[in-house]
Homo-oligomer: A and B are copies of this chain.
Amino acid sequence: MKIGELSRATGTNIETIRYYERIGLLPAPDRTAANYRSYGAAHRSRLSFVRHSRELGFTIEEIRSLLDLSDDPARDCGEADRIATAHLEQVEAKIAQLTLLRDELARIVGRCRGGVAADCRVIEALGDHSRCENPH
């Protein structure tokens, strides 16, 4: 399949596919006589793996490690688990941080009663961290 088909099949931008090839995340495919990239099923499933991992928030470098693992089926799976667990912890930390932030924002937004900027509680609150209830 040509790059446009692969793009549609995996929901990946064409430029992104070429980018992944450039950084060595996808192997360079064969070329047609017209120098068009020509992909097979292996490319497609590798790209799906990458996209899915990106959707789950893994970094490119994490994905590189995960791909290395899956390329070598005899290797110990502990590292995959370690990567995924560490990532899960990061996501949980991010959720916790955003939740504090949301509460703070909700407090700030809730105080606006209209009027002019000089009396605006939103602007006032942004200028004065000491009014915050949460660390952030």
Q: Which residues of A approach B to under 8 Å, CB–CB?
A: 45, 48-49, 52-53, 55-57, 66, 69-70, 72-78, 80-81, 84-85, 87-88, 91-92, 94-95, 98-99, 101-102, 104-106, 108-109, 112, 114-120, 122-123, 126-129, 136
Contacts and interface: CB of A to CB of B under 8 A. Distances in A.
Nearest to A88: B105
State the main secondary structure of chain A at its contact with B: helix
A76 B116 contact: yes
B48 A129 contact: yes
Residue from the set A55, A91, A126 with the largest chain B CB neighbour count within 10 Å: A126
Contacts of A81: 109, 112, 114, 120, 122
Given A70-B117, A78-B114, 10 more contacts: A48-B127, A48-B128, A55-B129, A56-B105, A56-B126, A66-B126, A74-B118, A84-B105, A92-B102, A94-B98
A34 B128 CA distance: 33
Given A70-B117, A77-B112, A117-B80, A99 B105 contact: no
A98 to B, nearest CB: 5
A119 B76 CA distance: 10
Nearest to A11: B129
A126 B94 contact: no
10 contacts: A69-B123, A70-B123, A73-B117, A77-B117, A77-B120, A81-B109, A88-B105, A91-B98, A91-B101, A91-B102
